[in-house]
Structure 1
Amino acid sequence: MLAAHQILDTALALVDERGTDALTVRGVAAALDVAPNALYTYFPNRDALRAALVEHLLGELDGVKLPADWPTALRHLAGALRALLARHPGAVPLFVAGPMFGPHGLHTGERALALLAGAGFTPTAAARALYTVLAYTLGFAAMDAAELTPGAPADMDTRVAQRRTAFEAVPAADYPHTHAAASVMATYVTDTQFRSGLDTILAGLARSAASPSR
């Protein structure tokens, strides 16, 4: 008898290779060489399969240690999520297709919210801070994944070189600022850019946390 984790491992392999269009109950069943009915016991439809696969991936975040210092904790959490999505770019659309209400997703959010509460954030401020970091991380991953071909992502050096060539080809006379920033804009898909943007967000949240009106 199939186990749920076998189904999800196969589903993830399909998504990694062919993107989210490959994530169907029938498609996963075919890859496992079983009838679709064998999967319906666990996942009655594609939405259930999507939610379970997202939850399956989020389980990897359970082992991320979160320091007591909340900016460092959010930096670690966002970095771990970014790394997870970078390993599975084909799965990124699944993370923005619906809420993450499984135990792993809720556990990760609860850990972050507890840290923020301990730092003095109100429930509203904590929720908004966490959402801001998650939205930035998922948005960065989505834009990154949009440039990739499922199954064969280019290495980062190649991607940056291709982007630099494209930006440097922009006519300097018409777009002087874009042309001047070409070398930086070429690195928008890198971890360096991700960390730079995240640090800017965390600095803003820190200033907000220090405000009596938060």
Structure 2
Amino acid sequence: MKPGPRRSISQADIVDAAFEIFEEKGGDAVSIRGVAARLGLTPTAMYTYFTSKNALQRAMVEQVFSKLDLAAASDPSVAWRARVRTLAADLRARFAEHPGAVVLVASGPLDGRHALTFGETLLEGFTSGGMPLADAARATVAVRAYVLGAITLDAAAAGTDTDAADAPAPLWTEATQHPLTESAALLGDDDAFATGLDRLLDGFGLPPAA
């Protein structure tokens, strides 16, 4: 039987294929040639969509940001703190779908449409609480740094979630030399992210329900 015409390839198809490679083999394996081979394209054809690996990586970051539910974080009837918390938790959850993808953030500035809309929504949350724009800009940077830091720790923890036989040997085993660290680990505080974010927001001086 004669094969039918090949379906067209979209940028979304390319980004999806890049994430497949990323999750199978790691970030170093994501390349124009590798993604082209996965999709049955020539590298030359790939360059009509993305001119470099860096451009492809930035598109992958944009895809993560595109999945945020910004409508829920933009409701003016909701208090500013709840809006910021919702947005921060959503971003963390979206990156959790692609463990380790936070390293892609270093591929370039967060100046894609979806990433900028995320920042705009954060700014709206702070200014709706009465914060001057200059302070809101600083608060937005602080919250973004906090969330990306938490995502990095999540990825590191996920990397240790392996079978006992496959788990790497610990670099340091004398737990008694670090009693506070050991005790803190035993607390199992599942609300550490939300609690830390609240403490950060407290520092900006607006009332919680403003």
Q: Give the shorter-chain TM-score range.
A: 0.7 to 0.9
8 Å CA contact 1:112, 1:130 repeated in 2: yes
Percent identity between the aligned chains?
38
8 Å CA contact 1:18, 1:90 repeated in 2: no
1:63 to partner: Cα distance? 4.5
Match of 1:180?
183
Q: Which has the higher helix share?
A: 1
Where does the alignment leave 5 or more consecutive residues of structure 2 unmatched? 1-7
The whole-number CA distance in structure 2 between the counterparts of 1:171 and 1:145 is 23
TM-score, L = length of structure 2? 0.80
The answer to whether the aligner puts 1:97 opposite 2:107 as a matched pair is yes
8 Å CA contact 1:170, 1:179 repeated in 2: no
The whole-number CA distance in structure 2 between the counterparts of 1:99 and 1:117 is 24
8 Å CA contact 2:150, 2:193 repeated in 1: yes
1:8 to partner: Cα distance? 0.8
1:144 to partner: Cα distance? 2.1
Match of 2:51?
44
8 Å CA contact 2:70, 2:87 repeated in 1: no
Aligned length: 191
TM-score, L = length of structure 1? 0.79
Match of 2:193?
194
1:83 to partner: Cα distance? 0.6
The answer to whether the aligner puts 1:55 opposite 2:58 as a matched pair is no
1:170 to partner: Cα distance? 3.6
AA aligned to 2:67 is E
AA aligned to 1:175 is H
AA aligned to 1:146 is A
The whole-number CA distance in structure 2 between the counterparts of 1:171 and 1:95 is 34
8 Å CA contact 1:64, 1:80 repeated in 2: no
Cα distance, 1:48–1:175 mapped onto 2, change above 3 Å: closer
Cα distance, 1:180–1:4 mapped onto 2, change above 3 Å: closer
1:62 to partner: Cα distance? 4.3
